[in-house]
A = this chain, B = another copy of it.
Amino acid sequence: MAKEQTTLLHIAKALGTSIGTVHRALHDNPGVSPETKARVLEMAKNLGYRPNLAARFLSSKRTLRVSINTLKGTTSFWDEVRAGIREEAASHPLENVELEFRTYPRIGEGEVEAFQAALSEKVNGILVFPSSAQALRPWIRRAARARIPVVCVATDAPESSRQGLVSIDTLVSGSIAADLMGRFLLGRKGAIAVTVSDMAITEHAGKYDAFESTMRSLYPHLRVLKPIEDHGTEIEAFGRFRKLLEECRDLVGAYVTTEVSIPVLQAARHAKALAGLTIITTDLFPDLVPEIRSGAVAATIYQRPRAQGEMAFRVLRKFMVEGGNTPDELALAPHLVMRGNLDFFLRRQSRESIKESSDPLPASTEELATDFV
């Protein structure tokens, strides 16, 4: 019943060689003739060899070092992501994991340096928020060549040969925002504004497209305006939205796809247009809480940073431990936060930060933090 596990010894005996050779062959360590190596690999496949991880961890002195390259947490988003990573890393008491946090202050600033640093430190894996995928691409490729798995969090780095991606499904975000907007505005006509950071960013373009197309097919009496690009700055967000409010007299709603929603609210308030607007935002941070509670923001799409961190580390661990080379992409569904369930999410966030501070790190998890720029 219980299928016998194939071990190194089995392979060795079947081949009339030694367990040491088999081991070297399977790990393409130096010192194996190409032919024996081929024979070993062949036989291993035939016998369906699966390494016994318990034995591996037990005998191996090796510790897995992973670099976590993210934005410095101005908002709580990246703090939550990192918390999720820590938690997941600590949850497997088996392997020795060493976490190295490298942060950069702004989009496109210092991230290449941080990535280079991780590479030159020869870490075993990298979790990265590729804020400007373009610049990072050659370096991710280099990591791939060095067989260092790279997993992107929150945003993809397309065509970069990164091994994994964990993000919120942009299609879902955009579509649910549209469907909610349509329902909330039942019976009304008018224009809807959408703000993004930059349409060059895949995620934002994806959300806009999903929003626009869902709106068009389900609620054709509402028209979606061209996207407002704020390039991640509050000034631009404020200015452009204010201008829009002046120009467009029949604006009835706004969907903010990024976390830069406060300036939009301010502009609307300033123009005394807030009451007539249905606003759907993204993410959840302290300044947004009173806006949700007061009803100024009808709903916010919570991108579950903690879950993203957890899943990203899981995916990376799989690559580091089991090897494998087929890329793994994971799209999470966002949560919807409204007045009704706001407290649940706030409670959860605070509970988890309490847990974290009172829980000493397990002995096997070492940490290191570096800021870039």
Contact = CB atoms under 8 A, between A and B. Distances in A.
B58 A340 contact: no
Interface string A78-111: 0000000000000001101000000000000000
B333 A345 contact: yes
B63 A52 contact: no
Contacts of A363: 3, 5, 50
Contact of A218 (B58, B94, B339): B339
A176 B176 CA distance: 15
A175 interface: yes
A170 to B, nearest CB: 11
A184 interface: yes
B55 A344 contact: no
A339 B244 CA distance: 29
A366 to B, nearest CB: 7
A340 B93 contact: no
Contacts of A364: 3
A344 B169 contact: yes
Nearest to A55: B58
A180 interface: yes
Nearest to A4: B363
A82 to B, nearest CB: 21
Contact of A53 (B93, B214, B341): B93
A288 interface: no
Contact of A340 (B1, B218, B298): B218
Contacts of A354: none
A199 interface: no
Centre residue among A3, A179, A341, A362 by max chain B CB count within 10 A: A341
A49 to B, nearest CB: 11
A283 to B, nearest CB: 15
A186 interface: yes
Contacts of A50: 93, 362-363
B2 A366 contact: yes
A172 B3 contact: no
A200 interface: no
Given A58-B52, A363-B5, A336 B94 contact: no
Contacts of A366: 1-2
Contact of A341 (B57, B172, B298): B172
A94 B2 contact: no
A325 B106 CA distance: 45
Contacts of A339: 179, 214, 218
A135 B186 CA distance: 47
B2 A338 contact: no
Interface string A329-371: 0000101101111001100000000000000001110100000
A344 B94 contact: no
A183 interface: yes
Contacts of A54: 53-55, 57-58, 94
Interface in A31-81: 50, 52-55, 57-58, 63
22 contacts: A1-B366, A3-B363, A50-B93, A50-B362, A50-B363, A53-B94, A54-B54, A54-B58, A55-B58, A94-B94, A172-B340, A172-B341, A175-B341, A175-B344, A176-B340, A178-B340, A179-B338, A179-B339, A180-B183, A180-B338, A214-B339, A335-B335
Interface of A: 1-3, 5, 50, 52-55, 57-58, 63, 93-94, 96, 169, 171-172, 175-180, 183-184, 186, 214, 218, 298, 333, 335-336, 338-341, 344-345, 362-364, 366
